[in-house]
């Protein structure tokens, strides 16, 4: 018997061209979604210190950045609004002249025919207490009272032109209530991206700076416990039955097993959100020379795709799309 190996997997790793040819997982720019922030009352884009390279946009700079993203080949845009004034019930979220709804209309006017415009269907940016819903007289998030606001918020965003609404509040029944409200308002063509498994993660810190969050305390009474994976499948079943069109896992890189479980349990498109803390960790480590930045970006996005996500919300969307040309 020959002393040499009869099987040589290294043959398919010899050159960059060969590795590219036999790659099992590819990052498709059309599946990348760029999260964007539009802030009321500013006259120029405002950098977010904990997220180098990411800004809070003015309405004008939002339109320019959206056009650049579409030109790069990004598949969609997810918009978050930062209002100048907040109150206990997040009333700016449902007003036609609220910054998020104005921003949605701006994106539709600028790139609505070329891309998918998505909007955040949550109240945390709009409440003066920073929670994702309205509070009861004991200071707890009132699930059912919040659903009533979510229904109005969904209609307002659909009226502004949103193609997809992503309710991220993790309220029980939110998909069903918003689907019913949208259909009753003759917005049956507006899709819902369910935040099926949104974990109470330590990775959201930079995002809270991005939206100037007023939160004190935490969101553990409504976001999912990081130790629970089977619970995500229960949430998935509920979201599917309530009418979700797309399901999402958030964060992404620390919940690859959950992405895989969700992918195997549904035929719906599966999204994952590479969140602000994931972005900030890469940027901080790269700035200190501890990692190779571009390789780490690609490695994380590849892992998220390999786990089963067909679309990824990432602040690297434009950069990666340009490099993929």
Task: From the candidates 131, 219, 250, 263, give the one annotated as an active-site residue.
Answer: 250
Domains recognised in the chain with CATH numbers: 26-323 (3.20.20.70)
What integer pLDDT is reported at residue 93 of this predicted model? 97
CA 187 to chain centre: 22
* Structural contact between residues 277 and 205, judged by C-beta atoms closer than 8 angstroms: yes
What integer pLDDT is reported at residue 166 of this predicted model? 98
Nearest C-alpha neighbor of 316 from the set 61, 52, 60: 52
Task: From the candidates 39, 129, 187, 198, give the one annotated as an active-site residue.
Answer: 198
Quickly list H helices, the chain.
16-22, 59-72, 99-111, 143-160, 174-184, 205-210, 230-242, 256-265, 276-287, 293-307, 317-323
What integer pLDDT is reported at residue 203 of this predicted model? 95
- pTM of the predicted protein model: 0.95
At 168, is the secondary structure helix, strand, or coil?
coil
Does the active-site annotation cover 247?
no
Q: Which residues of the chain have pLDDT under 50?
A: none
Does the active-site annotation cover 109?
no
């Amino acid at each position: 018997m020959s002393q040499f190996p009869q099987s040589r997997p290294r043959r398919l790793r010899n050159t960059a061209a060969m590795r590219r040819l036999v790659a099992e997982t590819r990052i498709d720019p059309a599946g990348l979604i760029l999260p964007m922030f539009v802030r009321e009352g500013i006259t120029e884009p405002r950098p977010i210190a904990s997220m180098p390279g990411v800004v809070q946009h003015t309405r004008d700079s939002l339109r320019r950045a959206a056009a650049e993203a579409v030109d790069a080949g990004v598949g969609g845009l997810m918009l978050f609004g930062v209002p100048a004034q907040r109150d206990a019930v997040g009333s700016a979220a449902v007003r036609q002249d609220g910054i998020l709804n104005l921003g949605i209309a701006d994106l539709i006017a600028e790139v609505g025919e070329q891309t998918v415009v998505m909007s955040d269907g949550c109240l945390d940016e709009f409440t003066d207490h920073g929670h994702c819903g309205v509070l009861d007289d004991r200071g707890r998030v009132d699930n059912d009272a919040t659903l009533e606001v979510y229904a109005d918020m969904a209609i307002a965003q659909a009226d502004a032109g949103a193609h997809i609404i992503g309710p991220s509040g993790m309220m029980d029944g939110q998909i069903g209530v918003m689907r019913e409200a949208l259909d009753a308002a003759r917005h049956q063509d507006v899709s819902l991206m369910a935040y099926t498994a949104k974990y109470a993660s330590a990775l959201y810190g930079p995002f809270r700076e991005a939206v100037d969050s007023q939160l004190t305390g935490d969101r553990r009474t409504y976001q999912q416990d990081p130790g629970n994976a089977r619970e995500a499948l229960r949430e998935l079943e509920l979201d599917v039955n309530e009418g979700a069109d797309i399901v999402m896992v958030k964060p992404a890189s620390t919940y690859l097993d959950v992405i895989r479980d969700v992918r195997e349990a549904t035929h719906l498109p599966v999204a994952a959100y590479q969140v602000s803390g994931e972005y900030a960790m890469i940027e901080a480590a790269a700035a200190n020379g501890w990692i190779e930045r571009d390789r780490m970006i690609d490695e994380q996005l590849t892992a998220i795709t390999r786990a089963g996500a067909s679309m990824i919300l990432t602040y690297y969307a434009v950069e990666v799309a340009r490099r993929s040309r």
